[in-house]
Chain A
Amino acid sequence: GESVGLHLPTLSVQEGDNSIINCAYSNSASDYFIWYKQESGKGPQFIIDIRSNMDKRQGQRVTVLLNKTVKHLSLQIAATQPGDSAVYFCAERGWNSGGSNYKLTFGKGTLLTVNP
């Protein structure tokens, strides 16, 4: 049967601090990565994406860093606000097992809590 894991990695920060959320991906051939934010009971919202030919990309208050050598992705949130409290998860794009189509694989996520 299925196992249900309830223990997400958590990060607790003070309002105004910078947050860094990490993600280890599995496929060295993945060519595109996305970060999503999901608030409780809602669907995931797109935050930022990056292609494998880049190592850094900046958005509004967010920066994504990609280290292909160690297959690591991070999301940095500047001046974290209470409204940033949510689960953040990464996704990587690679080919499906048949090699006929791209497939997105999602991580389990990190719960960010911002304390006022």
Chain B
Amino acid sequence: DGGITQSPKYLFRKEGQNVTLSCEQNLNHDAMYWYRQDPGQGLRLIYYSQIVNDFQKGDIAEGYSVSREKKESFPLTVTSAQKNPTAFYLCASSATNEKLFFGSGTQLSVL
């Protein structure tokens, strides 16, 4: 997984509950990203951050929130407003606007 650590690997959410997915990188990359992957679908961008204390919405930001208080960390919170949260969530980082390095993913399921 090359310096990007996602945890936990599996996560279960009860209805009405917020859950937070962790992403840490030690690659000294400025940019970090969160993607959602559904079976048979391409990756869809949730949020991204090009620099500490700044982040931007991606294509499917509704029901999600992020923070970027440290360069190494970019946690994603799946809020109760996200009505269909079951998916595989991938965090990535990049030193440039080119290739992304991905973590090993978190599978989120609803109880």
A residues with a Cβ closer than 8 A to B are 1-2, 4-8, 32, 34, 36, 41-46, 49, 89, 93, 101-109
Contact = CB atoms under 8 A, between A and B. Distances in A.
Interface of B: 1, 4, 6, 35, 38-43, 45, 50, 56, 84, 90, 97-105, 107
Given A93-B97, A93-B98, A104-B100, A43 B1 contact: yes
Contacts, number: 60
A30 to B, nearest CB: 12
Contacts of B39: 4-6
Contact of B103 (A43, A89, A102, A104): A43
A46 B99 contact: yes
Contacts of B45: 103-104
